[in-house]
Amino acid sequence: MRDVIVAYDGSPEAQAAVRAAAELHPGRTLVVVSVWEPGLAEMMAAGRDELTGLTYSAMTPEMIATVDRAERDHASETAAAGATLARSLGATAEPYAVPDERDVAETIATEAERRDASVVVVGSRGLGRMKSRLLGSTSQGVLRRCERPVLVVRAPH
């Protein structure tokens, strides 16, 4: 049986996605994917954030490496927490921290293809039309980019 990819960032919506995946896909391995951005510190060290317009002070190569390690470690810990949640629900789960290729949605879709996943499960924050346009929406991005079936789960209110 093919694996199920579950996008996980630790949010209540991502936790709901893990719960739904465990309930709807018993017997399948849940690959709990947390995405991190390599080079984020290097972009920050470049000076100005194009999105926010904020400027940053110069960072040394050691500082950049430290931030990159922290980002990677945080993603690993987040994926492990999601896998632990899945296991507590009786699922077989594998944590997987993956570096961002272009954006989170593209990275998740690429990972689903690479692993020949049966389905991708993502949580939805329900940002609404305006906030989604301004901030982006991972669930919408996965729906647009993924060749696999995608299940979007809303957290209970």
Find all residues with CB under 8 Å of 48, minimum gap 6, and list them: 54, 55, 56
pLDDT in tens, 40-84: 656 555 555 555 666 556 677 788 788 888 899 999 999 999 999
Domain that holds residue 118: 4-154
CATH (domain of 87) = 3.40.50.620
pLDDT of residue 130: 45
Residues of the chain with pLDDT under 70: 39-58, 126-136
pLDDT of residue 38: 77
Within 10 angstroms of residue 134's Cβ, the number of other Cβ atoms is 8
- Tally of domains in the chain: 1
pLDDT of residue 65: 80
3-class secondary-structure state, position 144 = helix
Dist CA 123 CA 152 (whole Å): 6
pLDDT of residue 132: 43
